[in-house]
């Protein structure tokens, strides 16, 4: 039985076991001894090869991670690594009695590997604050995933764009992604960060609170009134005290002059 000619794509996550289907299945009336089977990656490196029922080649990077079903010729890889991502090819040759080989099938299958990103982490640093608004630098980061992700966000459920940057050692290495945003927060607001990769998504939300750096308007007048009232009372008391001390003396002097 053959396989349809459309391009096959198989998806798997890092650490899982995955089977790549071949384009040919050996009939029950025959055995692997009548065939040569080559599983190749990128059409250049042989992952696994069988000839006349015996394994004749295997790639060292797939050592102890690959096996082939001897009937339907499926290539099994376990555990899957990011480096396994890419196009594969199953080449099957049928050996005739004359020992001339005939290519039965030669079709590609693509393995698409994903690795989970960490749950996004959102941090907010207050740069400046005033009575009207709080200026913040908000950052969202996620790491260790594959393939290269998209990072999106929302402010109170309204879409916004991050100033995004990605770090990866190579095109087949885990990615770290960071998004940055400068915000003037005039009221409490909810921010969401979402990291998307190959149909998967992880999100985190955080409530950004406006810093209350305002002086209550009713306080200064009350303070001034109290201060002014206190001063008036103190002056009044001083005036009474001075008057009380001065008036008796004045009275003694008057009586003295009368006696003379």
Give domain status of residue 249, yes or no: no
When divided into structural domains, the chain yields a total of 2
Give domain status of residue 102, yes or no: yes
Provide the pairing of β-strand 150-155 with 189-197: antiparallel
pLDDT of amino acid 72: 95
User: Is the separation of the CB atoms in 18 and 77 below 8 Å?
Assistant: yes
Using DSSP, state whether 161 is helix, strand or coil. Answer: coil
Domain hosting residue 22, numbered range: 8-114
Mind listing the pLDDT tens digit for each residue in 60-88?
A: 889 889 999 999 999 999 999 999 999 99
User: Which tokens in the block code for residue 215?
Assistant: 């002086």
Q: What percent of the chain has pLDDT over 90?
A: 61
Using DSSP, state whether 17 is helix, strand or coil. Answer: coil
Give domain status of residue 128, yes or no: yes
Give domain status of residue 220, yes or no: no
Give domain status of residue 130, yes or no: yes
Mind listing the pLDDT tens digit for each residue in 205-243?
A: 999 998 876 765 554 455 555 565 667 767 767 767 666
pTM greater than 0.85 (yes/no): no
Give domain status of residue 221, yes or no: no
């Amino acid at each position: 039985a053959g396989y349809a000619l459309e391009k096959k794509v198989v998806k798997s996550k890092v650490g899982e076991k995955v089977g790549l289907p071949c384009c040919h299945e050996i009939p029950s009336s025959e055995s692997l001894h009548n065939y040569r089977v080559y599983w190749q990656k990128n059409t250049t490196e042989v992952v696994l090869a069988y000839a006349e029922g015996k394994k004749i080649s295997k790639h060292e990077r797939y050592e102890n991670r690959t096996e082939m079903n001897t009937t339907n010729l499926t290539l099994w890889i376990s555990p899957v690594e990011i480096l396994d991502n890419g196009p594969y090819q199953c080449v099957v040759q049928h050996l005739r009695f004359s020992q001339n080989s005939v290519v039965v099938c030669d079709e590609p299958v693509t393995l698409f590997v994903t690795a989970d990103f960490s749950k996004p982490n959102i941090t907010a640093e207050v740069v400046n604050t005033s009575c009207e608004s709080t200026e913040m630098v908000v950052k969202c980061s996620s790491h260790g995933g594959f393939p290269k992700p998209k990072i999106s966000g929302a402010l109170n459920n309204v879409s916004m764009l991050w100033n995004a940057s990605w770090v990866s050692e190579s095109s087949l290495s885990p990615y770290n992604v960071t998004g940055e945003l400068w915000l003037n927060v005039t009221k409490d607001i909810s921010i969401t960060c979402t990291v998307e990769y190959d149909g998967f998504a992880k999100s985190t939300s955080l409530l950004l609170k406006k810093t209350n750096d305002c002086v209550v308007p009713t306080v200064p007048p009350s303070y001034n009134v109290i201060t002014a009232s206190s001063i008036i009372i103190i002056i009044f008391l001083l005036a009474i005290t001075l008057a009380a001390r001065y008036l008796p003396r004045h009275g003694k002097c008057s009586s003295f002059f009368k006696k003379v």
